[in-house]
Amino acid sequence: MTGARQQLIDSVRARFGERAAVTEPADIEPWLTDWRGRWHGRSDAILQPGSTEEVAAMIALAAELEIALVPQGGNTSMVGGATPPADGSALILSLRRMNRIRSIEKGTMRAVVEAGVILQTLHEAVAAKGVRFPLTLGAKGSATIGGLISTNAGGTQVLRFGPMRALVDGIEAVLPDGTVHDGLSGLKKDNRGYSLDQLLIGAEGTLGIVTAARLKLFPAIHSRAVAWLGLASPQAALDTLRALEAGTDRIEGFEILPRESLEAALDHIADLRAPLDGVHAWHALVEATVSQPGDEPPEDLLARLLAPLVDKGMVENAVISSSEAQAEAFWRIRDSLSEAERAAFGPATQHDISVPVDLMPRFMADAAAEIEQAFPGTHASGFGHLGDGNIHFHVRAGERGGADWLQREGPAVTQLVDDLVTAIGGSISAEHGIGQMKRDELERLSPDRMRTIRAIKAALDPHKLMNPGKLV
């Protein structure tokens, strides 16, 4: 350990007590590797501030000693965004002790929440007050508000509520020089120059550390219904979505999956049942919710809007959940797809990509064809958030497989996918961010964008002390 890192640890402990820095290797170990086990780092300590003032003081000390810090929330990054550098040069700064919900106000429909609050904890706290924070995703039991903001998280309800950026009404953060940016006052109009709040959202902790946020709340769900549709193609799914949207603003989720993914789930995951009897090339899960008891029940709404689409053949078949248990069962199929595909199909490259929504059906067909031609024997397909133009696109090794396929051909496959996405104006990172995983690809494909990002980073964090090695 260099003297400077030890000095930082000592100073932190002297000012904020023993537990403000964890140095026991066994306690640090679980936080050195990302949850999928792809990136491994080293760190002498985990700093654990308990308040914004402590974060500010620790960052100021670190800046003085030129020690880099890696902010961590739930450590659920999909792109290595929270793993410290392998050389051990940085310390982890964990926000997990900053886990207070400072306020939940129904009058203004806002909550002020510290960075270390776990998403599910927030869901439960606002539900107890009869309101709702709509963003949700698979990692909700671990992911924290600070991480969700720093990665502009998406999830399954983006269709109606937007990503985290649309749900944040103000941010409190500590900047690289240790000053506190306080954007929590809840001003509905504020035109004092560049929006630092907006700059910090999605910045992956590279411009400062988010310590708290003011979040938008919505009326609680009174009831929901989920329809499961059998469809001929992604284009039919998109046409169905547009037809539903023309009739209501109450569609919250619209997810699609191909037949083979459904079959993989039914074969490999316990306790799942096929929602429909017949065989369909594609499937969609559609969720509608209502918040007022007097509104048309969501199952009636879905039945009314879907009937003419079934009549005209746009939808081949449909079933609507008749109970919360059945709605939950439909979602369980969707949520098990990643695990099912791994079990059923072996190695695959995975791509969190987005394209303009209307172009997605064509992209799925054309990109799959190009990839299967360039890498004969592979199979390319996708499932996910069609309504957001965001598909989790997978290329399976197929007959080219073998233990080392990912290592051998993965990078070339990824480059081809990224090229195809970029060519039609899409994004190589729809919701997971850049982190360590996609940094080189972003540089390769978007040098102009990267130059701007780099200039802003250098301006605000000239000594590169904030989450080094991520994004830039």
What is the pairing mode between strands 223-231 and 168-174?
Answer: unpaired
Binding of residue 17 to a copy of itself (CB under 8 A)? no
d(CA 152, CA 130): 25
Binding of residue 261 to a copy of itself (CB under 8 A)? no
Among 108, 322, 323, 407, indicate the residue that binds a copy of itself (CB under 8 A). 108
Our CB check for a copy of itself shows the closer of 180 and 310 to be 180
Binding of residue 304 to a copy of itself (CB under 8 A)? no
How is residue 151 written in tokens?
Answer: 């990665």
Residue 398's CB is within 10 A of a number of other CB atoms, namely 18
Binding of residue 449 to a copy of itself (CB under 8 A)? yes
Distance of closest approach, residue 172 Cβ to a copy of itself, in angstroms: 12
Binding of residue 103 to a copy of itself (CB under 8 A)? no
3-state secondary structure 316-348: CEEEECCCHHHHHHHHHHHHCHHHHHHHHHCCE
Among 13, 97, 165, 259, indicate the residue that binds a copy of itself (CB under 8 A). 165
Q: By CB under 8 A, what part of segment 339-358 binds a copy of itself?
A: 354-358
Binding of residue 426 to a copy of itself (CB under 8 A)? yes
Among 86, 138, 141, 198, indicate the residue that binds a copy of itself (CB under 8 A). 198
Binding of residue 427 to a copy of itself (CB under 8 A)? yes
Q: By CB under 8 A, what part of segment 115-154 binds a copy of itself?
A: 151-152, 154
Whether the Cβ atoms of residue 149 and residue 164 lie closer than 8 Å to each other: yes
Our CB check for a copy of itself shows the closer of 193 and 376 to be 193
Among 101, 326, 446, 463, indicate the residue that binds a copy of itself (CB under 8 A). 446
Our CB check for a copy of itself shows the closer of 214 and 280 to be 214
Q: Using CB under 8 A, which of the segments 308-316, 320-328, 399-407, 425-433 binds a copy of itself?
A: 425-433
Binding of residue 202 to a copy of itself (CB under 8 A)? yes
Name residue 132's beta-bridge partners. Answer: 218
Binding of residue 201 to a copy of itself (CB under 8 A)? yes
Among 195, 322, 323, 407, indicate the residue that binds a copy of itself (CB under 8 A). 195
CB-based contacts of 27: which residues, under 8 Å, 6+ apart?
Answer: 46
d(CA 429, CA 435): 10
Our CB check for a copy of itself shows the closer of 199 and 274 to be 199
Q: Using CB under 8 A, which of the segments 32-40, 313-321, 334-342, 380-388 binds a copy of itself?
A: 380-388
Q: Using CB under 8 A, which of the segments 24-32, 124-132, 191-199, 364-372 binds a copy of itself?
A: 191-199
Among 125, 199, 269, 329, indicate the residue that binds a copy of itself (CB under 8 A). 199
d(CA 111, CA 377): 51
Whether the Cβ atoms of residue 358 and residue 84 lie closer than 8 Å to each other: no
d(CA 386, CA 364): 11
d(CA 260, CA 196): 45
Query: What is the contact mask toward a copy of itself in residues 55 to 94, using x (rule: CB under 8 A)?
Result: ----------------------------------------
Binding of residue 455 to a copy of itself (CB under 8 A)? yes
Binding of residue 423 to a copy of itself (CB under 8 A)? no
DSSP per-residue letters across 29-84: GGGSB-TTS--B---S-EE--SSHHHHHHHHHHHHHHT-EEEEESS---SSSTTPP
**Burial class of 335 by CB neighbour count within 10 A (0 to 12, 13 to 18, 19+):** middle
How is residue 361 written in tokens?
Answer: 């059906």
Alpha carbon 312 to its chain centroid, in Å, reads: 36
243 phi/psi in degrees, rounded to 5: -65, -40
b/e sequence 381-391, b meaning 16+ C-beta within 10 Å: bbbbbbbbbbb
Walk across the sheet containing 46-47 and list its strands: 21-22, 46-47, 90-94, 68-72
Q: How many residues bind a copy of itself (CB under 8 A)?
A: 65
The footprint of a copy of itself (CB under 8 A) covers 107-108, 151-152, 154, 158, 163, 165, 175, 179, 181, 185-196, 198-199, 201-204, 207, 242, 354-358, 385, 387-390, 425-434, 442, 446, 448-450, 452-453, 455-456, 458-460, 471-472
